[in-house]
Homo-oligomer: A and B are copies of this chain.
Amino acid sequence: MSEEPIDLSAALARFDQLWSPRIVTRVNDYDVRVAKVAGEHVWHAHDDTDEFFLVLDGELRIALRDGVAEREVVLPRGAVYVVPRGVEHRPSAPGGASILMFEPSGTSSVGDRHDPVPDHVDATTGHRL
């Protein structure tokens, strides 16, 4: 937990890797993470936690799958969305985006169940900024 405020734009300027969340601060036993994203992430689900997304820049899409039914939500800059625990989802950002996430510390970026993880996706519980 930082003694001073953290500017999110400055935090994002400190790294370039896509789909590789950085932990900017903690709130109790939750992480606040930021990530730069572009293209597609991987289908995955978190069995034990909801996952909060806030779009800081660009546009994020989140495909959601419930059995065979699939839909997609679109988050412009300044929009928030919570993926409920257990719901299979695949974030994507055709034009690129910067996002902020809240989730319990230790939550894997590819969840508890996932499709094969492509090379461009970092399977991580978040890196230090």
Contacts and interface: CB of A to CB of B under 8 A. Distances in A.
Chain A interface residue bracket vs B: 35 or more
A73 B28 contact: no
B79 A1 contact: no
- Grouping DSSP codes into helix (H, G, I), strand (E, B) and loop, the A interface class, with mixed when no group exceeds half, is strand
B49 A28 contact: yes
Copies of this chain, tallied across the complex? 2
Contacts of A85: 28
A2 B75 CA distance: 13
A15 B99 CA distance: 26
Interface of A: 1-2, 4-9, 24-28, 30, 32, 49-52, 54, 56, 73-76, 78-82, 84-85, 100, 102-104
